[in-house]
Amino acid sequence: MSRILVTGSADGLGRAAAQALLAQGHEVVVHARNRQRAQALQELLDRGAGLVVGDLTERDAVRNIAAELNDAPPLDAVIHNAGVYRGPAVIPVNVVAPYLLTALLPAPRRLVYLSSGSHFGGRPRLDGVDWEGRSSGSYADSKLFVTALAAAVARLRPHVLSNAVDPGWVPTRMGGPHAPDDLDLGHRTQERLAVADDAQALTSGGYWYHERRREPHPAVHDEAFQDRLLGTLAEETDTEL
């Protein structure tokens, strides 16, 4: 059985993934933004899940989460599920936090990043991006960046299985009650890539939608763009991958 961190697991896709992985017998660490949000996770904690708390918009909080996890038994996988659709938290939560956790958690052999079909509308330009979240960020850009991050990690860490998952437009708090995609398929791909041993799940560098690999935005596999993104994030956070 595996030990897996699922960020943003108080509701939606993250909670569904954590519930399913616990039901399969895995050791799951759930995450909430603050203690108030963590109260929603009591059912999972009662079933044996571990808990980390920290606001992913705050870099010091992300560092504290990483330090706490590095002092605990090593993780086998991280599902970077937490995401924000609009507002100033978009870039810090969707891009900077998963980058920092990837850099600061050296042990996991499997990494799953939350992408979106919106990444096709993202712009592979880094100038002028507000990495600190003082102003509203572009959701499409953030998803292009994090999908490229997943591909870059796959290239630079060949011993790690790193993939991006587009869960579709699913009926979560973010997607709304009338979203047309299948919620189960949305989180099932995350779980599979985090723990399964079939040949497809043991591949790296993919962009996945409903358990199938698809071709992402051309910039995702542009190594020059990947390197610029990693260099910018390293400079911005004073933390190299």
Please provide residue 162's backbone torsions phi and psi, each rounded to the nearest 5 degrees.
-120, 125
One-letter amino acid for residue 208 of the chain: W
Question: The tokens of 192 are what?
Answer: 């599979």
Is 143 part of the annotated catalytic residue set?
yes
Please provide residue 213's backbone torsions phi and psi, each rounded to the nearest 5 degrees.
-75, 140
Active-site residue among 85, 99, 113, 143? 143
DSSP 60-120: HHHHHHHHHHHTSSPPSEEEE-----SSTTHHIIIIIHHHHHHHH----SEEEEE--GGGG
Distance CA 160, CA 200 (A): 14
Is 209 part of the annotated catalytic residue set?
no
Which residues, in sequence order, are bridge partners of residue 79?
6, 112
Active-site residue among 113, 139, 207, 209? 139
Active site residues: 139, 143
